[in-house]
Amino acid sequence: MSPSRISLAVLITALAFGTLALPSPATAADTANDAHVRAMALAETKDFAGALQLLASEDAAHQAGFDHRFLQSRLLAWDGQHGQAQAQLDALIAEHPGNPDLALMRGNVAFYQGRLNEAEAYFSSILTRFPDYFDAQTALDNVRRVQTARRDNRRGDGWRVDAGGGLSSLSDGLDDWRNQYIRAQRALGDVNAFGSVQRFSRFGMTDTSMGLGASDNVRGGLDWSVQAEVTPDADFRPEWSAGGTVGHAVETGGTVALYPSLSYRYDQYANQTIHNLSPELTASLENGVELTGRLIGTLPSEEDNQLGWLVSGSVPVTDAISARLGYANAPEAINGVTTTTTSVFGGISYSVTDDVNVRLDVGHDDRENSYSRTHANVAVTYQR
């Protein structure tokens, strides 16, 4: 894997499994109660569901006890049920406000969820009262290590400018389409802010769209982006659009990293509104190959709902060159009308320098019971 992908994998692993490296001091019940001992043994094999089921089999008296509830909260956190673990711990802290073990576990839950500032505050508070509490110091060190990794893994600390244009040739004697765009992005701490202008010439008309948006600027944890776009006096483009994407990298522990995401966009045309929903999964292999599968759902207000799909892959050719190829059979909205379109597309990307990248994309689309389109686009990215 590349150094950036290795850094991301380390960060994800720390966030997802850091709890197992931050053990809380054993309670008396862990050694005195056989069910608790067996539950911890199951937890060591990561059978958290089995451990929780074992605890649930205890009698009511044991289940009401501090040791049982504390161990249950730990298991819930390790099983990824952070909300339930947090609720259990909050109730225990209300009953035992000065207990450092509870504060440590509460900080761990915040850490697992990526709320690093909150976790840091919990661990620092414990060490203020108990400066020799080794587990709290270890936890605080881990939080600060992840905070440093996040800073080191920012997607960019300055400007990024993307510009390009394309030409499409249509069948049935239709006029060529043209498009040009420019997009500028600025990193503002943990957030990127961006704006864009796009110009489209189709059907003998021209629409100009302007957009604004923001995205997170840190690899790891929950990735997100939101954006909105408006087209004054739109002829064939949406009058306005808004949407966003959320995603989260998943470390499998092997040579494949998975990245599921979900995108939504709302388009307001003159003749109807269209909702677009697209779940996607990308698999990144150790050799730099990436494979993507996407479902594309279109829900128009005046037409039948349509569902399609897309598959694509990219492969590094050299250190500076990568190639991409894909196929799609999915609904496409043109001039406010959705039609199933089959597409074959590909491209090549070349890193001219560390700051400049050039990309060429080509493709061919066949719209159901309509015209076909062959298109080519050239884009340049400058990042500093």
Q: What are the residue ranges of CATH 1.25.40.10 in the chain?
A: 3-152
* CA 175 from centroid of its chain's CA atoms: 39
- Cα(115)–Cα(112) distance, integer angstroms: 8
Name residue 181's beta-bridge partners: 164, 198
- Cα(369)–Cα(366) distance, integer angstroms: 9
* Residue whose token pair is 């400018």: 161
Burial 235-270 (b: 16+ CB within 10 A, else e): ebbbbbbbbbbebbbebeeeeebebebebebebbbe
Q: What are the residue ranges of CATH 2.40.160.40 in the chain?
A: 159-383
Report pLDDT digits (tens) over 166-224.
Answer: 999 999 889 999 999 999 999 888 899 999 999 999 989 999 999 999 998 766 668 89
**Residues sharing a CB contact under 8 Å with residue 183, sequence separation 6 or more, in sequence order:** 161, 162, 163, 194, 195, 196, 197
Cβ pair 360, 348 in contact under 8 A: yes
159-383 folds as Porin (2.40.160)
Q: Which segments in the chain show pLDDT lower than 70? A: 1-33, 149-157, 218-221, 251-254
* Domain 3-152 classification at class level: mainly alpha
**Residues sharing a CB contact under 8 Å with residue 297, sequence separation 6 or more, in sequence order:** 276, 277, 278, 305, 306, 307, 308
| Residue 262 CA: distances (Å) to CA of 136, 268, 323 | 36, 20, 25
Q: How many CA atoms lie within 13 A of 6 on its CB side?
A: 4
